[in-house]
Structure 1
Amino acid sequence: MTEATIGAGAFDRDTAVTAREEGVYGAELSDQWTIGNAVNGGYLLALLGRALGDVLPHPDPFTITAHYLTASRPGPATVRAATVRVGRTLSTGTASLAQADEEGREVERIRVLATYGDLAALPDDVRTSAKPPQIPPYEQCLGAKDGMDPANVPPITHQVDLRLDPATVGWAVGEPSGRGEVRGWFGLADGRDHDPLSLLLAVDALPPTAFDLGLSGWVPTVELTVHVRHRPAPGPVRVAITTRNLAGGFLEEDAEVWDSQDRLVAQSRQLARALLD
């Protein structure tokens, strides 16, 4: 198999937007990025990020915050993106995605506020106490489809190359650790290397930490904020996600994404709803 390059992979095809008029884009939400009946939130964020990159003068998302209003479904969608402010080094914009409901009425699915800049123009100094997650080598980790009934594998699983740390998958055999941790290697199935937009997918592509807390079922995202810190080096990234607090039926997930050069390239926090029994 020939590895896809940035701009020519399934991720690029399925996050494409087509300009209809100034600030208005058409999009087709692919059913290949779904879990159950819902479209993955990181995929949606990347699609909106692509539209914002077309509107704003700066190339890279620095920080992007999404509020998920209603569940998106595969099919046509309308994206609206607008500039809020343009400065010399940063620009800010807003975007939303809407779909028609069964009666043909437009329903807003997600709304985003983001600030863009140029990651290549940032200084090289790094002062951090953060350390890369300790994950076994790729070959010793478990594929997302390992042990699953082929008939029940979510479509998104075929689009990503996910290898989970065996220490964080006890929930898959009925033995969750209770620590609220999930770690693994993450890449795209067609071999496309990562860029800032695919990092928006990476922070939301692992199984939810709720599974490691002993819960099961859908964990819908309420709000997700991603900070992109560097352009990632070629190769898969390592993603570590933790939850420290589940209260009132809601939990937070904090994610770190590290590239092959041991650089922290993205961070995120999301608020999600835990559907308790």
Structure 2
Amino acid sequence: MDDAPFSRVCALTALGDGRYRGEIGPIWTIGPKVHGGTMVAAGAAAATRRLRESQPDLAHMMPIAAASDFLGAPEPGTVEYQVTVRKTGRQIALVDVDMYQGERLCVHTTFTFGQLEGDEPPQYAASAADDMPAEPFAAAQGYIGSPMGKIVHVSEGADMAIDPGWARFLDRETGEPRLRIWIRPRPGDQRDEDVFAFFAIMSADMSPPVTMNLGRFGWAPTVQMTTYLRRRPTPGWLRVIATAREIGPRMFDEDQLVLDATGAVVAQSRQLALIPQPR
């Protein structure tokens, strides 16, 4: 078993003038196309490297926010990143990343860099985990060997399980538009604190569309997604809780909250997506 498959997503070759080449392998796909959260996380790795190379005094900064527009769905394989540092300051820096496959622009992301939260307890924290255990319980459905695993190939590069009590679609039933999953990177991907942080960014887009609990299956193209990295995760499982505010006839929103093994919020995302259309 590969000890650090996500590290290879974050590994880049410098091409000069803020350009980098990377490789996103077939396991980082949902169906035939590269997973959106993986592309954002890979862009975060490129932005971080460029900022550190051009501004070494800002090496303590990490991408605390990302606003991503998905313009094309790349195939797994070689991609290139064009990184532009837009602004630097003592507390905030702005970095743009365009991901290309060949001549085609696939993703445009604006990253905001700043200092992550430390170990101090938050002044206020809403109850987020509810009764979700820190690790998958006995009834949790693992992805490997399941119908979910045949679509979510990311489960070949990380341990994953879904809560069947929330995922009513697994029993061909309907339920509230909410889902929760567990995901854990391979040991090598946990040892590198930057890679683990980028993995947390990826995990904030890891839940299936909550519309599946309403019987709406299929591709739900993301129109726009905003992702936050709040703090570095502690080693172990991450918990992802997905909910929706409104599901309309054409669009729906989905919020995903990522907690680490201690229950601390490590990442968040909000996206606007198109409702899967019946075939």
TM-score (normalised: structure 1): 0.88
Counterparts of 2:188 and 2:11 in 1: how far apart (Å)? 18
1:108 pairs with 2:105: yes
CA deviations over 1:200-233 (Å, ceiling 9, x no partner): 1111122221211211111122211111111111
Structure 1 residue 181: Cα displacement? 0.5
Give ranges in structure 1 of 5+ residues lacking alignment. 101-105
Q: Matched residues in 1 for 2:116 and 2:40: separation?
A: 19
1:173 aligns with 2:171: yes
Asked if the contact 1:97–1:110 (Cα under 8 Å) also holds between the matched residues in 2, the reply is yes
CA contact (8 A) 1:32 1:156 kept: yes
* Whole-angstrom distance in 2 between the partners of 1:30 and 1:218: 20
Counterpart of 1:41?
36
- 1:122 deviates by 8.2
* Residue type of the alignment partner of 2:185: L
Distance, in Å, in 2 between the alignment partners of 1:44 and 1:252 is 20
The C-alpha deviation readout for 1:93-120, integer Å capped at 9, x for no partner, is 10101112xxxxx111000001112326
1:47-62 equivalent positions in 2, closer than 5 A: 47-56=42-51, 57-58=58-59, 59-62=61-64
Tell me if the contact between 1:17 and 1:47 (Cα under 8 Å) persists in the aligned partners. Answer: no
Residue 72 of structure 2 contacts residue 106 of structure 2 at CA under 8 Å; is this kept in 1?
Answer: yes
* Counterpart contact for 2:204–2:240, Cα < 8 Å: yes
Given that 2:10 and 2:46 are in contact with CA atoms closer than 8 Å, whether structure 1 keeps it comes out as no
Query: In structure 2, the residue corresponding to 1:50 is in which secondary structure?
Result: helix
Partner of 2:143: 144
Measured in 2, the distance between the counterparts of 1:131 and 1:155 equals: 28
CA RMSD in angstroms comes to: 2.2
Q: Which residue of 2 aligns with 1:17?
A: 12
1:11 Cα deviation after fit: 0.2
- In the alignment, the residues of structure 2 paired with residue 172 and residue 125 of structure 1 have an alpha-carbon distance, to the nearest angstrom, of 36
- Distance in 2 (alpha carbons) for counterparts of 1:32 and 1:113: 26
Q: How does 1:122-133 map to 2 (within 5 A)?
A: 124-133=121-130
Judge conservation of contact 1:27–1:77 (CA < 8 Å) in 2: yes
- Change in CA separation of 1:215 and 1:224 when aligned onto 2, cut-off 3 Å: same
Where do 1:106-255 residues align within 5 Å? 106-119=103-116, 124-136=121-133, 137-140=135-138, 141-145=140-144, 147-148=146-147, 152-177=150-175, 179-189=176-186, 192-193=189-190, 195-255=196-256
Pair 1:30 & 2:6 matched: no
- Structure 2 length as normaliser, TM-score? 0.87
Q: Check conservation: 1:61, 1:196, Cα contact below 8 A.
A: no
Q: Residues of 2 paired with 1:10 and 1:164: CA distance?
A: 21
CA contact (8 A) 1:159 1:190 kept: no
Overall identity of the aligned pairs, in %: 27
Instruction: Count residues with an aligned counterpart.
Output: 265
